[in-house]
Structure 1
């Protein structure tokens, strides 16, 4: 290849730079190629199974590593002991021959060293006399190709070395040095077979453990995922419109409790859907009744069946006013929910405010065949909108009158707590169940005993009460039993004069007390 071919070509024109390769893949294909498989791409069952298998594999590897380390240390010690024994035996045999040969160093004297070297592979022996001269060295061998002597297996830093003195009549005449390469040099065949078989057994056991762990992980994951799949199936069914779907899970574990919570939610949704249908029927009924009355009366007057006299016109006007009240009530509720009307913040004496409401409602309550009593603690002060509080209380009194049969009794009480003021309206009417108490603040909802036009309710009064109290930072408490009356209690935060003074000092403003309207 020439120099011109080896040097990369530099694109010099705009067309060359901008022109894509004809065979270049599309961006979508590049994205697909670059996308790597992620852990989250696997199913939960697969992830748990792989996790169990990985844990088993890591445990097996750690166990094999620890056992291998311990065994290697053991066999290294075993080899060192054998080396020292062989070295000492060789030194003793050389000493005996040395003594018999009249203290001469010759091949016959060092023959035990040669025999020790030939005992097993990987062993080197060196004999040094008392003058420091090497008289036998197994690492120096004859190389026929070189035509002379050549170095062969010199001991290295990693070699195990043992040495023993050659003693003759208590005098040291030399030294035997013996070394091996690796821990297997002096290991007996049964020992090697035992070690190899043990390693093989450990690897087989590790493989079996991984397979068993994978099976256990798979079964565990399936058992764990099964209730989750039931929850998913129920959720899909509800999403498709089947509100009767349930998981029917029971137990003390977290997933079972999740299933029970889901079933409770589904039951609540189903009841709310039934309530929605019921409310839709109520709204249609409330709108249809006056419209049909107006239509029938007007058509009769147009056809000449009825004369357009004052009585007929009063009937039409009455139904129109009924429609107007319903629309105004809905508009009022909508404005409260949307915070469209600003709320006045003034210091209100609740006792005096409610006393005025009682005065205006006494005749209304009396005409309904009921009795009304009022009890209020002094100086119960709150910060809020007096008109809204007045309307909420009036709605509760009207509701009590509507559901209390003739001869009943209504009690209104104002009390002062530690941090909250309470306005309680208690009646001896038809009462309500716990389920009805949960739905009583829904718009257009009315108790079964009052689901007729004669009761006069539009079904939005209590919803207005709740919105008003919510805007004041309070809540409405409902108590009662079926057939034994009900008690609605409004809780509103008390006026804190100390905090108000601090706020007024910081803002330069001061609240003015609400004046009782006569």
Structure 2
């Protein structure tokens, strides 16, 4: 059964070829029908013209002789007159070629046969009056109706046309098959490339790409396939990097915990409050990392709950800043606010406070003692722009575009020693995008990092 299944190439070939054959057969049938009827009509019109010319010539002969005695049973004279008409240049130019096709009779005014075969005169045959110059009808010329071909030359001509027609159909069939095959291959070449690329993609080869050879729907499909393959390849790279980063982040505190516990078991280190505090610190680091991973996974999956309502950005920033005042003062850091009276916004107050907390926590951890964090909020057109600008140390130019990637940390003082997991800014970015906003980073005027939160203005 599998051997009888046709692929899309065979189906397209059969569809186009069947259409071509249907058109060819219909045209052949129509041409043959038109030729047969047209040829008979052509013979009929030629015979009628000859009957008319013969009747005119016989009328002249009748006027010369005064009766039909000269013609009675004189078939030679009648055919001689007809041949003279065929050979006359003035008259033959008006006649179809190939001569007389059917039987004819010449009868007088009493309907007696003067010239003609012995068979009865057909009542439905073509009739031409023999009229003298004084409008007197002295007889008729009657021809049998040419319902079918009777002369061998006409039959041979018809058979030749029939053979030629079938020969044309055969040659046209071969040409149609060849052109259809080439057309099917050409049209399906992009489809075959897409099928092969899909097989490679399904097998895990995310670097698979297909050639875009046209600008039609198939070309657009090939472009979409390449975009899909690129997205899958990027996601696979991110997945591998994510797994490597998670294992790396978990290995360090676990290794410290294991070393501390083994040291206590071996008696190298005593079980003191300081040792327990060290273990508690590593457990806190692990707990913070797991919580951040959970928050990031929820925001990536769109499962992070958002309860949006009318709120005020100024009140939220002041509330978060108030909770950080004592900690900033303990680290000899200044926290200054430059805010308007109010900033109405439709969003989730808890998630926005989580975003502000992460950004202030980031500045608290990575800003050198004696520095400052300046938070400013301004309306620019139809957008709110909230800036968090801290002082030194800063980051390199090429590192700015990677700050919002998960587990990314610079090689300067902004490292694990400060307690960060590298997930806070990634979570902040997801929260900003959930509020139709953007989060960007640049260098601050005081030598540190400036992070700008851009949100839509909703009065």
**Equivalent position of 2:140 in the other structure:** 175
Question: Residues 56-107 of structure 1: CA distance to partner in whole angstroms, max 9, x if unpaired?
Answer: 4455456656755775676455323421233235435655379758456995
Of 351-360 and 86-95, more deviation after overlay is shown by: 86-95
1:220 aligns with 2:199: no
**Equivalent position of 2:407 in the other structure:** 445
2:427 is aligned, of 458, 461, 464, to: 464
**CA distance 1:137–1:466, shift in 2 (3 Å):** farther
TM-score by length of 1: 0.66
CA contact (8 A) 1:98 1:109 kept: no
CA contact (8 A) 2:289 2:421 kept: yes
CA contact (8 A) 1:400 1:429 kept: no
CA distance in 1, matches of 2:297, 2:195: 37
1:324 is aligned, of 269, 283, 287, to: 287
CA distance in 2, matches of 1:407, 1:42: 78
**CA distance 1:337–1:256, shift in 2 (3 Å):** closer
**CA distance 1:225–1:92, shift in 2 (3 Å):** closer
1:123 aligns with 2:102: yes
Residue 416 of structure 1, CA deviation: 3.6
1:355 is aligned, of 310, 318, 321, to: 318
**CA distance 1:203–1:395, shift in 2 (3 Å):** farther
- Helix, strand or coil for the counterpart of 1:414? strand
Count of residue pairs brought into register by the alignment: 433
CA contact (8 A) 2:47 2:100 kept: no
CA contact (8 A) 1:382 1:421 kept: no
Residue 407 of structure 1, CA deviation: 9.1
Question: Residues 97-127 of structure 1: CA distance to partner in whole angstroms, max 9, x if unpaired?
Answer: 797584569952688779999x999734455
1:91 aligns with 2:70: no
**CA distance 1:90–1:418, shift in 2 (3 Å):** same
Matches within 5 A, 1:274-313: 274-313=237-276
CA distance in 2, matches of 1:487, 1:154: 110
CA distance in 2, matches of 1:367, 1:212: 91
Residue 269 of structure 1, CA deviation: 2.0
- Cα RMSD (Å): 4.6
TM-score by length of 2: 0.74
**Equivalent position of 1:145 in the other structure:** none
**CA distance 1:465–1:300, shift in 2 (3 Å):** same
Matches within 5 A, 1:48-197: 48-54=12-18, 56-57=20-21, 60-61=24-25, 64=28, 75-76=39-40, 78-91=42-55, 95=59, 96=61, 100=65, 102-103=67-68, 108=73, 123-130=102-109, 133=111, 135=113, 141=119, 155=124, 161-168=125-132, 170=134, 171-182=136-147, 184=149, 189=153, 196-197=159-160
**Equivalent position of 2:94 in the other structure:** none
- Helix, strand or coil for the counterpart of 2:130? strand
**CA distance 1:396–1:215, shift in 2 (3 Å):** farther
**Equivalent position of 1:209 in the other structure:** 172
CA distance in 2, matches of 1:400, 1:259: 46
* Ranges in structure 2 where 5+ consecutive residues have no aligned partner: 83-97
Question: Residues 344-382 of structure 1: CA distance to partner in whole angstroms, max 9, x if unpaired?
Answer: 444321123213334444666687798766443443201
CA contact (8 A) 2:387 2:450 kept: no
- Helix, strand or coil for the counterpart of 1:180? coil
**Equivalent position of 1:28 in the other structure:** none
